[in-house]
Amino acid sequence: MRRNRTCAHWTIVAGLVLGEAACTPQHQSASRGAAPEVSLSSGWIDATATLDPATTPIYAGDAPLKFEFLKDMRKGDGFTLSAYSMGAHSGTHIDAPMHFVRDGASIEQLSLVSLIGAARVIDIPDSVRSIDAAELNRHEWRGAPRVIFRTRSSVRGWMASSTFHRDFAYIAPDAAQLLADARVQLVGIDYISAEQFGAPAPRTHQILLGKGIPIVEGLALGAVRAGDYDLIVLPIKVAGHEGAPARAILRARAP
């Protein structure tokens, strides 16, 4: 998540013609604004926070979510058409190196190799705010090609709360350095920034992104246990920008 400067904005206009299939129970949400982590029949778990202006937390100073219907069949229009406006770092999203590296890769330049493959989810105790080198080394992380932290944010459901919580768990620079030196391909966390709120400098982002390691922030891991998974996390393919919302799914790997 960007710090100390205005977040990039993007606007999408999406058209959808609603047919009968869209009205069947299997397509209806359990509750508006919820961020369910649905376990699919194939074993895949949706680790994406639902984007909803009523429930999505926004980092202090970032752009708000604005969703509107330009056309609405429920109001007599012949089709449904929506407009979305939001910051590039809304909800579950990916930071590309360009976020804090002047000549770093932009979001559409990220290699799929880093975004798809084996990942290890590490459960960080609720009492821990700073995931520093000492905390990192209390867990079996070495050898994992991608490392994801499940923290107090998941336990407390903060990715489904519109309140911005400043006391989220973050990755300290010394832990980021260990991960970078180990050449992990991706790092993830379950709140909208991997950096300490109010940090004097964005060292965690600079260390990881400086090594070309994308950061996935805002993962919804409430239904995910620690362990090894297959991960697919794909951002919207936006040209020339530093970040974008993404869809993330996990599937437990066989022992």
- The position carrying tokens 């798809």 is 116
State how far the Cα of 136 lies from the Cα of 182, in Å rounded to an integer.
Answer: 13
State how far the Cα of 152 lies from the Cα of 246, in Å rounded to an integer.
Answer: 22
> Which amino acid is present at 103?
D
State how far the Cα of 78 lies from the Cα of 80, in Å rounded to an integer.
Answer: 7
State how far the Cα of 130 lies from the Cα of 182, in Å rounded to an integer.
Answer: 20
Residue 145: how many CA atoms within 13 Å on its side-chain side?
11
What pairs with residue 247 in β-bridges? 234
Active site residue 99: yes
Measured from the Cβ of residue 164, the count of other Cβ atoms closer than 10 Å reads: 16
Which residue among the candidates 89, 93, 99, 205 is catalytic per the annotation? 99
Measured from the Cβ of residue 238, the count of other Cβ atoms closer than 10 Å reads: 18
Measured from the Cβ of residue 173, the count of other Cβ atoms closer than 10 Å reads: 21
Measured from the Cβ of residue 25, the count of other Cβ atoms closer than 10 Å reads: 5
* Residues marked as catalytic: 99
